[in-house]
Amino acid sequence: MTEQNIQTYRITGMDCADCAKTIERGIAKVSGVTGCALNYTSATLKVTGPVARADVISRVTALGYGVRSNQTAPMPQQSSWQQFLARLPATGPAGFLKFLLSRANTALAFLGLLLVLPGLVFHELLPALGYRGLWLDMTAIAALLVAGIPIARSAWRSLRISHEIGINMLMTIAAIGAVIIGAYTEAGLVMVLFSVGEALEGYTTERARESIQKLLQVAPGEATVLRACYDCTEHLGQDGYTGGPCPMCGIEETRVFVDELRLGETIVVKPGERIAMDGRILAGLSAVNQAPITGESVPVDKEPGNNVFAGTINGGGVLEIQISQLAQDSMLNRIIRMVEDAQEHKAPAERFVDTFAKYYTPAVVVLAALVAAIPPLIFAQSFLGGRGWLYRALELLVVACPCALVISTPVSFISAISNAARNGVLIKGGAYLEALSTVKAIAFDKTGTLTEGAPAVIQIKSIDCTTPVTGDCVNCAMLVDMASAVERRSEHPLARAIVAAAETSSAGSRLPPALAITALPGQGITGQVAGQTVVIGSHAYFESVMPHDQAVCDALNLAATKGETPMLIGVDGRYMGYITVADTVRPASRAAIADLRASGIAATVMLTGDNAATAAVVARQAGVSEVRADLLPQDKVAAVKELLAKYGSVAMVGDGINDAPAIATATVGIAMGAGSAQALETADVALMGNDLGKLAYAIHLSRTAMRTIRGNILFAIGIKLAFLVLVLVGLGSMSLAVLADVGASLLVTLNGMRLLGYQRKLQAAG
């Protein structure tokens, strides 16, 4: 399906997960729609197919819901009532009251609650008083009409448009049946409590929805941009200036909305400010708090050439940043969109519940009809009356309402995924969260995953070294400077490691770049430095052209067994010393691997194209249980398949590009993100801060989420079965049944939302 055929809508007026199902089924029947998915938690509807937007909006409206416009309209003047509501707290009981009174349907539910209270007190709570009155029945019927008409209307629309019997139909049948048998108070209670319960479910889900939207608030709405003064009234007419950029004012700092910024412009971020746009630092040094994007708890030092992200917090320096992404394309907005879209990748647990609910509700209606008919017809038992089988069948309709079951999974998944996003782990859907909870073995790429991915100088040894113990040797520093002068214009990773070591050296001189540089293919490089011929080459090359002691050979052979690459340096035909370079293991890798083992991961396997000796050294330093070396990309795929055959569920961690085939083969593909767009698009899970410690956190979060979901499902089914028994033996009541349904829905929602606050400290490295 092409991108042009995908339309996105924000739906309003939903109070429960069944509302989302009603809309999905109704939209699916619109001519031209080839697919639709409504994420209840984020209230986002995606429709595919050649269908007009007007037709989709018309169907949503016909089903009794609304579509929020993407256009920014002028803020209307608030009424006194709206001003009163705005002053109420947003959370707690007052927050729920504010939610009830802010919308027509929920306000009617609140009014119905007030109307049914007299009947509830005298008929249900204090029947021993023997108080009866026509006005009690009248207020109960009024409550039924006020709270029930929206529910009955929604039930009829669903039946007429989608040909579906939903939860609203169950409640409507139960209420009408209660009126028929004269149970007016209970009929009112069914509708009122169901309406209030739906509103309560909508309120708690709104809190989860807002947790996602809070991510948007970390990016400021304005920024300071460097722009030329335009159409300067102060200088018009001077020196031939007639308008446009003012040559006399030059570049000025201008405060603008972020939507007005353009690619390539430069913004200024002062100390303590949030960075407004993704970009590259042109000037300034500072430490940036990247926690909103990567989850890193420690600010990261930034310098010219480094990338920064919208929503992160500048430290103590002033930064000039060239904009690289528009606001809607920033890393922060991509993360938010992916979190909101995560529900499209439904987990098996979610698909099971959806399928179960689809057939369950109609089956309940049939079962209730059988309960009402069979005992009176076959066993001559009472049909009407307070304990008659019609009453029990109506109780069954209420008890069997699948609200709690339907909401038990999506709120848990989106809460866990939102929590992970806030902590620098992007999980692209419930399916991947569930799969992550089952992982038994994890395969790791070496370079850039377990290691830093950038070689660093390990040893420097000049033949004239004077302080081998402390390493603060002028001759060794001079050796690095001479090597750096030759390697300065090379892009080879080993060359960059030498240049970086020279730049951070505390001793030695700063030599100019070498002249007459000549590459020695497969052997090394040579150049003229301060009138001297400097040669940098491999051990094998120096063996044939430049004599050196056996002790040097022994030291270099020992370094090679440690995974280090030796480079020898000669000046004017004389051996002067050596430098060894290696890709170092990330400091957090060993602790992360130990944490994974403590978490019950059966195997940690390193897959690398490096030679066996180097791989063995890195594997030992990182603490992985197995290592497979000399692998081509197709060999890594084969290795992952072997692990799948042995362990059943395997994760593959790589850079998201070179390891793509193996990542795609694994049960769960995990990319070391570092905030890169490629990592976001490639894998099922991205570790945004390149921190392997987040992997153990994500696995524990996924396991906790699945335990929560299973507990919610068992509780929802268990409460239904328990009350079903009470109904069949004649010990229940309709009001008790609806209270049980509302209570179960609320409890599973709140239990799922606990995952928003999930925290876990990493295990100590073993």
| CA proximity to 631, closest of 648, 656, 649, 614 | 614
Q: Give residue 647's identity as a one-letter amino acid code.
A: Y
Residues 16 and 451: their CA atoms lie apart, in Å, by: 47
Residue with tokens 């416009």: 69
> 575 is written with which tokens?
């051996």
Q: Mark 70-109 as b/e (b = at least 16 C-beta within 10 Å).
A: eeeeeeeeeeeeeeeeeeeeeeeeeebebbbeeeebbebb
Gap between the Cα atoms of 190 and 395, Å rounded: 10
Instruction: Report the alpha-carbon distance of residue 254 to residue 223 in Å, rounded.
Output: 8
Nearest partner of 590 among 616, 622, 615, judged by Cα: 622
DSSP E strand boundaries for 86-211: none
Helix (H, G, I), strand (E, B) or coil at 483: helix
Return the number of other C-beta atoms located less than 10 Å from residue 570's C-beta: 22
Residue type, 351: R
In the block, residue with structure tokens 């193996």: 662
- Return the residue matching tokens 């509700």: 361
State both tokens at 730: 């004649």
What element of type H or E holds 516? strand 515-520
Give the integer Cα–Cα distance in Å for 625 and 331: 35
Say how many Å lie between the first and final Cα of the chain, rounded.
50
Residues in the chain: 766
Residues acting as catalytic residues: 445
Tell me if 484 sits within 8 A of 499, measured CB to CB. Answer: yes
DSSP string across 427-454? E--HHHHHHHHT--EEEEEIIIIIEEEE
| CB-CB neighbours of 677 under 10 Å | 14
Distance CA 765, CA 186 (A): 61
8-state DSSP, 588: T
